[in-house]
Each structure stands twice: as structure tokens, then as C-alpha cells.
Amino acid sequence: MADDGTKMNRQSVKAYRTGAGLVTVFVFAFVGLYIGIPSHSDMRYEANGMGTSSAAQIDVVEASEPEGRKATYVATPDAVRGIYMTSCVAGSKSLRDNLVKLVDETELNTIVIDVKSYDGRITFDTGADILQPAEGGGCFVKDMQDFIDELHAKGIYVIARLAVFQDTFMVKEKPEWAVKTQTSTTTVWRDHKGIPWIDASAKPYWDYMVMLARETHAIGVDEIQFDYIRFPSDGNMKDIWYPWSGTNPKAEIMREFFSYLHEKLSPEGIVISADLFGMTTTNTDDLNIGQVLEYALPYFDYISPMVYPSHYPNNFYNLGDPNKNVYQVIKVSMDKAVARTIATTTTVVFPDARIGTSTPALYAKPSFDPKKLRPWLQDNNYPVPYTAEMVRAQIQATYDTGLDSWLLWNAGNRYTRAALLTDGQ
């Protein structure tokens, strides 16, 4: 009886743990869906460094497919029409199935899945010790490759979103890579949400991101999308210190990072894309975060300006309330982006590329296919409810600029079905 009792106790404990685990997953999924997840872009557009550090090293390993299993891939659609999916939703079959059904039944053909969010945890097990999975956070996708294969079987294109320089986990692991405070250069600086940042010039971290991109591609992800590829934009900016970047120009640092990603990943056939602030389409400065459209164009297969109307100031281009003029906001922004993409000259400074002595100075630049541009559009109720008509107006504005690809953002993954076309429409 003692052995039977022990067995029964063990079974009870196992059942309890299983039930507790399921409850945990449900709670995190509920929080993600109904309370919200950090927004795709923290900075609204009305918002608007000094030394060096010795190089810290990490062990970089080559990405490899899981033993005995071959990854599947889908070619990039001519017109990408996608939605964003959090890792919490991806980790729950019932929740993710609702979004897959939406893709099946509408014009959608792409899903963007979080693989690394601001917390720095990875949403699948890569097998690399330095790439820590998010199992403890409840948003771990234990069957990520099965899910990718399922999507591919339906012809759905899969993009992995990697939030780059926001990284709570890695700041804990490698505090020497972090942005610090000016008043106490050993203290980690944090933004208004309490999130720490990696100094964008910390090159060992670049290798870390390349390793993660390779591991993610190895399980079948069709495209790697880099988000938060910038310097901080909010927080106590008067007390910020960049131990790696110093006072070097932010735009030049980001251009070097873009180039590094291209150099390491593109020759391996990995499709890469970049998320940029929406006003990079209309501003030629770096918005004090290091992002310049012309500096990103040569290095990424696709660029997604986050042209959410809610993030624009009132009277942007004399348009009044941007939330009442969503078509015009997208049209103006993406018209400017297209013009700058195809142009052969620019006022953005390119070393050794100046043309003549004109004022303002003109610089030569390659002309790129405007189909590189794939805007993120808004499908969330901030700061006002966004109707199906408002979402569809943004899509139409994208088409009217000559583009045919777009992505819809909703941090809670609740999309406006009535804004999407179905078969026969």
C-alpha cells in the first residue's frame, strides 16, 4: 500500500502541476488579449551621449535545424497582407486558431509572430544556452515548428518579429552592454515604462541578434523582421549615457548596424525586414533615434514604416486631427516614402556621394523598387475607436500610392474582420 499511496500522491501532484500550468497559460493569454501588450511604437511623433567600453564576448554558435527534421518555407507573396500575433496567442492553440481562420477566410496571407519581445525572452527553444526561452513567462510556443509547418501547409507566409535594443533579460545578463545614467555611469538607465535598453553600438549584441535570426530561420520562419532598431526616445533623456556609442552620430551607428545585418544574413538567403517610425517617410533627420529611411533602404529586403495615424501630431501636413483623416495621413506618408525610395538623389548626407555644389547639397543614391515598402497600418482603438471604414481607408491609401503590401497592428490581436475582403469581394 505504501508504494500505491506514493504512486497516487505522485499522480495527484502531477495533475496539480498540469492544472496549474494550464491556468498560468490562460492568465497570460488573457492579460495579453484583454489588458494589452506594449505597443509597437511607444513614441508619439510630437515627442522629440560619452566614452567607450571594452568588448564583452559571447559564444556564437551556428544555427542548425532540429535533428532529424527539415524546416519548411513559403516564398514571399507578391503582395503581403498580414496581421501581428503575440507569442501568448501563438502558444495557445485555441487562440491562434481563431486568427488562422481569419487568414484562411479573408484576403490575408501572412502572420507576424513575436519571437523576441521587449523582455528579451525567446518564444521557442533554440537549444542555445544564451538564447533563453520564455517558458517562465507563460508565452512560450512549445510547438513553434509544428505551428509554422501548419501555416505553410495553408500557404501562409510567416514573419518573425524581433524587438532588438529593448531587452530586459540581456541587460541583466550583460549589464555592461546597457545604456546607463549620466549621473551614475554604473546604473542602468530605463525609459518611462521601466524598460532598459542595450546601447546600439554594443557589437557583441549584434552577434547575439544575428545568432537569434539564424536560429529562427532554421526552424522555417520565412522572414526576420527587426523592430526597435533605434535609440531610446522617452524617459529622462537629460540623464542618459551611452558607454559604447559615446557622442557618435546615432544615424551612422544605426546604418552600420543595418549593414552588419545585411552582411551576415542576406548571403545566407535569409529575408530580412525593418520596422521604422512612420515619420521617417517625411523627415530627413534621424528623429534623434538614429532612423533615416535612406540609410535603411540598401540593407533590408522590406521596410515597414509604422504609419499609425494615432501617432501623428494634430495638423500634420495641415490635415487636422489625424484620426479623422486616416486616408490622408497614410497617403501623404507613403507618397513621400515612395518618392524617396525611387529617387536617384537625396539631401540626406552620403559620404563621397555629393553631386556638384548646389545648396542644399545633393547626394547620389541608388533607386530602389518601391515594393520594398510595406507599411504597418492601425487596427486598434487608440485614441478613438477605429471602424472598419477607417482601417479600409488606410489600406486603400496604401494602394493609391502604388503599393500592394501592408500589415495590420493590434497589440491585443483583435482585428476588424469587416475591414478585410473575402472571396468574391
Per-residue pLDDT band at 129 (split at 50, 70, 90): confident
Closest by Cα among 90, 85, 83 to 25 = 90
| pLDDT recorded at residue 136 | 57
Question: What digits encode the pLDDT tens for the residues 214-223?
Answer: 999 999 999 9
For residue 333, pLDDT beyond 90: yes
**Largest interatomic CA distance in the chain:** 95
| pLDDT recorded at residue 132 | 80
Question: What digits encode the pLDDT tens for the residues 86-103?
Answer: 999 999 999 999 999 999
Closest by Cα among 344, 312, 330, 346 to 403 = 330
| pLDDT recorded at residue 89 | 97
The residue length of the chain stands at 425
High-pLDDT (> 70) share of the chain, %: 83
| pLDDT recorded at residue 194 | 97
Per-residue pLDDT band at 274 (split at 50, 70, 90): very high
For residue 315, pLDDT beyond 80: yes
Residue by residue, what is the 3-state secondary structure of 95-126? HHHHHHHHHHHCCCCEEEEEEECCCCCECCCC
All three cell numbers of 349 = 548626407
Omega cis (within 30) before 360: yes
Across residues 288-317, what is the average pLDDT? Answer: 98
Is residue 96 situated within a structural domain?
no
For residue 167, pLDDT beyond 80: yes
CB 403 within 8 A of CB 374: yes
Across residues 191-211, what is the average pLDDT? Answer: 97
Is residue 333 situated within a structural domain?
yes
Q: Is 300 helix (H, G, I), strand (E, B) or coil?
A: coil
Q: b/e map of 47-62 (b: 16 or more CB within 10 Å)?
A: eebeeebeeeebeeee
Out of 5-19, 24-38, 234-248, give the one with best mean pLDDT: 234-248
Domain count, the chain: 1
Is residue 343 situated within a structural domain?
yes
| pLDDT recorded at residue 139 | 87
Domain holding 303, by residue range, is 272-406+414-425
| pLDDT recorded at residue 49 | 33
| pLDDT recorded at residue 127 | 81
Residue with cell 517610425: 277
Per-residue pLDDT band at 135 (split at 50, 70, 90): low
Across residues 382-401, what is the average pLDDT? Answer: 98
Segment holding 377, helix H or strand E:
strand 376-378
Averaged pLDDT score across all residues of the chain? 88
Which residue type occupies 193?
A: K
Question: What digits encode the pLDDT tens for the residues 150-164?
Answer: 999 999 999 999 999
Is residue 293 situated within a structural domain?
yes
Is residue 304 situated within a structural domain?
yes
| pLDDT recorded at residue 16 | 41
Is residue 68 situated within a structural domain?
no
Per-residue pLDDT band at 288 (split at 50, 70, 90): very high
For residue 303, pLDDT beyond 50: yes
Question: What digits encode the pLDDT tens for the residues 342-388?
Answer: 999 999 999 899 998 999 999 999 999 999 999 999 999 999 999 99
All three cell numbers of 399 = 494602394
For residue 3, pLDDT beyond 90: no
For residue 65, pLDDT beyond 90: no
Least-confidence region, from 32-41, 81-90, 217-226, 309-318: 32-41
Is residue 346 situated within a structural domain?
yes
| pLDDT recorded at residue 43 | 62
| pLDDT recorded at residue 9 | 41
Is residue 265 situated within a structural domain?
no
| pLDDT recorded at residue 158 | 98
C-alpha radius of gyration, the chain, whole number: 22
